[in-house]
Structure formats: structure tokens, C-alpha cells
Structure 1
């Protein structure tokens, strides 16, 4: 299995079990080893008192992209810490895009940077996620730690 096939298969297995991402309408638009891009349409139920996307939904999109990127090696990996900075509001009915990229990996610890953008290309938020690989796989694969 190639690294790309592994990433695609792991993403499919994760999305099947990820009720939160699916229920929010998130779609995987790109996946590869150490990277993932997800989109989410801002619905009326996601708007805060300012009529902009609630930051919790923006964080959830960023966190999901981070999760798919760091689990792309078919090793169960969890968030150890995340820090988000909001730059601009998400707008009603806007398609937000979160792109997560691995920036460092040492042993079981990884660092991922996530950029959330609006449809017009503006930066909505940036997030840095720290990951920790634990025991298990997204799908059975020989030669990997189960």
C-alpha cells in the first residue's frame, strides 16, 4: 500500500466513525500523508449573536482537519494541545476551508498547522495542533502496530 492509499483508506475509515464532522456537513477535499483539507458550509444554526459563525464551529472544522492529517499514517493519533487564533469572522452560508499540514514529527509527537479560509480567500483563523500517537489503527494493516 502506498502512503497516499494509506492516507485515503484511513480517512475513509475515520469519516465513517466521525459523527461530529459528518453531522456538521464537513467534506474531505484533499488528503495525503500528513495533510488534510476539509470544508464546511456555515449554516444558520452556527451563527452567534453577531450573526457570524460561532468560533466553536470554526475550531471544530480546524480540529477535524488536524485529526485527519495526523491520522493519515494509519496510526491512531489524538490531540495533545490545540491553540487557535481568530483573524476574521466566518459569514452566514459561506463555505469555510481548513487545510492542515504536518510541520514536525518526532517519535510519537507531531506538530500541525491549520489555516481556515473563507470563500474569498481571506484568513478566518489559524490553529496549531500538537498530536500524540497512541496504540491502534484506523483499519487493519499488516506490519503496523495494532
Structure 2
């Protein structure tokens, strides 16, 4: 996608069609080609038995950012690999933000770095995600 109208159409499609992030309360902050930023307020039901944010919640937020960034060009892209490193814990009441940035893109694959931060800007996780870019359907 090369212009703001296409990005706005894409954003509206994601917001209305991607029900799982919507169900969790994920907010779409910024979308542009090869880039996305999303956030989520951690709720009590999103913690593990240690009382800290469940890793699956952090992974879902990062995956949402990756999916949006990698699909923002108008060609379908699906994740091939995801490598996540947890750095710092978060707890209910905190808001975390995942930002996906394109590192490299070829015709068939693209590599993204997703950084997850808390509201103070401290890194809580880092993800490297590889996607397969399909032919446009």
C-alpha cells in the first residue's frame, strides 16, 4: 500500500475483522507500511499463577503487531517463525505496547523486530518474527 487511504482501509479492515485482538482489548495505535504499534492494558484475568502477565498475552500482542506490519503492503503474509525473549515482568493495571518494525523484506519473506515495552518505556520482551509473503489473492 502506498498511500494513506489504503492504510486507513487496511486499518479499518483489521479493526473490524480481527476479532481475537478486539476481544482482548488490543488498541491499534499506528500503522504504516512495514510498521505497526499496538497496546493492551493488562487485566486480572491475563496473569499466570505467579500473578504476572501470562506469556501468551505478551506473545499475542507481539503477534498482532507483526501481523499488521507484515500485511500492510496489501499482500497476505503469514508467520513462519517467532522467537521471543522475555526481559521484565508486568502486572495487572499496566499497559504494554508492541511495536513491529521491518528489518528486511524480499519477494517471499520478511523479517521483523517487535519490541514490547511497558508504559515507562522499559523493554519487557523482544521478538524476531519471520513471515512468508503470499501472492496477492
For normalisation by structure 2, the TM-score amounts to 0.94
Separation of aligned partners in 2, 1:11 and 1:132:
21
8 Å Cα contact 2:2-2:73 kept in structure 1:
no
Aligned counterpart, 2:107:
107
Q: CA RMSD in A?
A: 1.3
Aligned counterpart, 1:119:
119
8 Å Cα contact 1:27-1:38 kept in structure 2:
yes
Q: How many residues align?
A: 137
Separation of aligned partners in 1, 2:113 and 2:7:
18
> SS of the counterpart of 2:129?
strand
Unaligned ranges ≥5, structure 1: 136-144
Separation of aligned partners in 2, 1:13 and 1:90:
30
> SS of the counterpart of 2:90?
coil
Does residue 1:45 correspond to 2:45, yes or no? yes
Shift of 1:84: 0.4
Separation of aligned partners in 2, 1:8 and 1:112:
22
For normalisation by structure 1, the TM-score amounts to 0.89
Shift of 1:40: 0.5
> SS of the counterpart of 1:113?
strand
Unaligned ranges ≥5, structure 2: none
Separation of aligned partners in 2, 1:110 and 1:7:
19
Q: How does 1:67-146 map to 2 (within 5 A)?
A: 67-135=67-135, 145-146=136-137
> SS of the counterpart of 1:49?
coil
